[in-house]
Amino acid sequence: MFGFYRFAAVSPKMKIADIPFNTAEIIRNAQQCAKQEVSAAVFPEMAVTGYTCGDLFFQTALQNEAMNAIKKIAASFASSSMILIIGAPFSWRNALFNCAFVLQSGKIRGIIPKVYNPNYREFYDKRYFKSGATVPDGTSCRNAVPFGTDLLFTCDHNFSFGIEICEDLWTVIPPSSQQALAGATALFNLSASNALVTKSQYRRDLVQRQSAHCMAAYIYTSSGVHESSTDLVFDGHSIIAQNGRTAAENQRFHRDGSIIYADIDLAKLKAVRACESSIGDAAGEKEFRDIHLSEVFTSPTLEYTHIDANPFVPDNPAERDTHCEEIFNIQSAALAKRFEHINAQRLVVGISGGLDSTLALLVCAETMKLLKRPMYDILAVTMPGFGTSDRTYTNAAEMIKLIGAEFQEINIRDACMLNFRDIDHDPEVYDTTYENVQARERTLILMNIANSQNGLLVGTGDLSEIALGWSTYNGDHMSMYAVNCAVPKTLIRYLIAWVAENSEKKLRAVLEDIIATPVSPELLPNTRKSEVNHKTEDIIGPYELHDFFLYHFIKYGAEPEKISYLAALAFSGKYSQEQILNTLKIFITRFFRQQFKRSCIPDGPKVGTICLSPRGDWRMPSDACAEIWLERLENIGK
């Protein structure tokens, strides 16, 4: 469903050379996978015989029984489209190979030999097996079954996979790298990796890194504790990774077998390759035969994946702190460079007491530290208007004071009333004109002050507002440098909280109250001055939904049906399907209609993988039509 596929990494119980027992265990575990509607399941290296058979591999009886076992396993799933990838020895032209057998619908669809056989320290694989590199490309064996290292398997336009075996991954250029260049979105590894102190962490890192290098799913499984312990112990480690992150991992040293599952979005991985990498420019050195398989199950429920409701904000507190520090450093370094380049004398910033201007002021303060300049070189201007609340005004004034910037207050009410008179607008009509006059008046003041002070006007608008066009054209839309332009609204609270945690007590208290204040432009008259009554999210919907939509729409090009489905899972119990669809409609409509504002936004630093700068990450005509997306949105649920 929507490009998701369910993969399983299986490490079953086994007995060395007891092929009937091992076959029964493989079938039993595979049946469990079938009940879970798995697309493909991988079993360990030499799962049929056991990896530690030693010279028993030379026994014809063992070899023949292993082939009979593979046929029996295949026949057991003749009515299933699930793919099984199982390790077993294979004899071909007077040589023995360590192989992966690909089974589907009762047939052997391909046999892939291991390329790199270790022959150092405790491993003596070359004593038994020839390298798959000795098998000529294009080879077929019994019953015309494709055999060789040049096999790539395709189920549909999203799911194409390659296979490598254990040591192959540990080499300088793993076979999976070539497979990924040829289009494989999933990579399977059948392994028998022994346990050593710290080896499991290295193995985990290796799998994660390879999945990141290849921008693919990497499904790895290894032999367990029932291998021979004569000299070595095997821990049955299984890992499923996607694009650098672990999606599932088992507990090692299990005695009853282990199966882990993960629902992997292969469509997303394809999108990453298309828009965020140069993988298409890297010509693979190896030609592959494309083996077409039947279409498989796609994940029906996504119970084996986590859909992050806040994709811009790391769940792990330590990772989140590192994330915030890095972003804050990027913003400050960028502003310092621009400040020095134009030989400015001061930073000018408008402070409302809201989230965006607060973060901008904090970045200005850090920039002054970097440049070893006094905080007084920051001119912080607060401009109360018709909707300014006591809460935001007080927080703005107190924060400026505590930071040590110069404070200036300019009330814009009289100037706005004069503007209303000049354009013949009734100030009792609270329409777009009423709101935008205030926003443009504030920007006019700030621009002119910056000129008078030989200053640089620092913009405050964030990525979420830029995506929605939630700004006044040539009002808060404009500045001389926009430090928040790539920071989404859901992340800004965490950035301010990170600064607050490292601030003295009084400033921390002010910052925490700003974080707790509802988001508002404060442009409409406020009868209760103590509270914020003009709430942005009451008008356009929750920012956490908009940021969720933005992430999946921009980063992965997800269609409306997929975005709404994922949102329903991520926000289950919080927002109804109707709320999600209504907010998504607002997002799509505004995103297309407001592109003209993005086409002429100021410079600003990119801090994450999503940015809407017209000079770099997002190039879109200002008059593009949204009908395709809106029509598909309307058809959801029909």
pLDDT digits (tens, 9 = 90+) for 292-344: 999 998 877 899 999 999 999 999 999 999 999 999 999 999 999 999 999 99
In this predicted structure, what is the pLDDT of residue 102?
98
Catalytic residue (one of 13, 25, 33, 45): 45
Q: Is 276 a catalytic residue?
A: no
Closest CA to 297 of 554, 81, 31: 81
Query: With bands split at pLDDT 50, 70 and 90, how would you rate the model's confidence at 531?
Result: low
In this predicted structure, what is the pLDDT of residue 232?
87
Query: Is the pLDDT assigned to residue 561 strictly greater than 90?
Result: yes
CB 116 within 8 A of CB 124: no
pLDDT digits (tens, 9 = 90+) for 371-390: 999 999 999 999 999 999 99
Query: Is the pLDDT assigned to residue 534 strictly greater than 80?
Result: no
CB 636 within 8 A of CB 514: no
In this predicted structure, what is the pLDDT of residue 1?
79
Query: With bands split at pLDDT 50, 70 and 90, how would you rate the model's confidence at 616?
Result: confident
Closest CA to 4 of 180, 217, 207: 217
* 3-state SS class at 457: strand
Query: With bands split at pLDDT 50, 70 and 90, how would you rate the model's confidence at 283?
Result: low
In this predicted structure, what is the pLDDT of residue 143?
84
Give me the CATH code for the 4-292 domain, please: 3.60.110.10
How much of the chain is helix, strand and coil, in % rounded to 5? 40, 15, 40
Q: Where are the domains of the chain?
A: 4-292, 321-539+597-607
CB 223 within 8 A of CB 236: yes
CB 544 within 8 A of CB 310: yes
In this predicted structure, what is the pLDDT of residue 527?
65
Query: Is the pLDDT assigned to residue 236 strictly greater than 80?
Result: yes
In this predicted structure, what is the pLDDT of residue 113?
97
Structure-block tokens of residue 334: 């960028």
Q: Write down the mean pLDDT value for the chain.
A: 94
Section 526-543 average pLDDT: 79
Closest CA to 269 of 215, 191, 228: 215
Give me the CATH code for the 321-539+597-607 domain, please: 3.40.50.620
89-103, 117-131, 283-297, 423-437, range with the lowest pLDDT: 117-131
CB 534 within 8 A of CB 367: no
In this predicted structure, what is the pLDDT of residue 292?
96
DSSP-assigned states of every residue in 279-305 = GGGS--SS--EEEE-------SS-TTS
Section 95-109 average pLDDT: 97
> CB within 8 A of 373, min separation 6: which ones?
none
In this predicted structure, what is the pLDDT of residue 86?
98
> CB within 8 A of 180, min separation 6: which ones?
162, 187, 213, 214, 215, 216, 279
Higher pLDDT, 276 or 256: 256
Closest CA to 219 of 298, 284, 164: 164
Query: With bands split at pLDDT 50, 70 and 90, how would you rate the model's confidence at 635?
Result: confident
141-145, 460-464, 549-553, 626-630, range with the lowest pLDDT: 141-145
In this predicted structure, what is the pLDDT of residue 530?
60
In this predicted structure, what is the pLDDT of residue 528?
62
Query: With bands split at pLDDT 50, 70 and 90, how would you rate the model's confidence at 532?
Result: low
Section 268-291 average pLDDT: 83
In this predicted structure, what is the pLDDT of residue 286?
85
The proportion of the chain whose per-residue pLDDT surpasses 90, expressed as a percent, equals 87
Distances (CA, A) of 485 to 324, 329, 507, 583, 611: 15, 15, 25, 22, 8
Q: Is 166 a catalytic residue?
A: yes
Q: Is 45 a catalytic residue?
A: yes
This prediction's pTM = 0.92
Buried b (16+ CB within 10 A) or exposed e, 590-621: bbbbbbebbeebbebbbbbebbbbeeeebeee
Q: Give the type of residue at 312.
A: F
List, as own/partner pairs, every contact residues 20-24 make where C-beta atoms lie below 8 angstroms and the sequence separation is at least 24, other chains included: 20/69, 22/47, 22/48, 22/49, 22/50, 22/69, 23/48, 23/69, 23/72, 23/73
In this predicted structure, what is the pLDDT of residue 121?
67
Catalytic residue (one of 13, 114, 562, 597): 114
pLDDT digits (tens, 9 = 90+) for 172-186: 999 999 999 999 999
Crossing angle between the packed helical segments 355-370 and 489-501, to the nearest 10 degrees: 50
CB 299 within 8 A of CB 247: no
In this predicted structure, what is the pLDDT of residue 274?
85
Q: Give the type of residue at 581.
A: L
Section 43-70 average pLDDT: 96
Q: Is the dihedral of CA 497, 501, 503, 506 positive or negative?
A: positive
Catalytic residue (one of 33, 155, 166, 214): 166
213-222, 296-305, 323-332, 614-623, range with the lowest pLDDT: 296-305
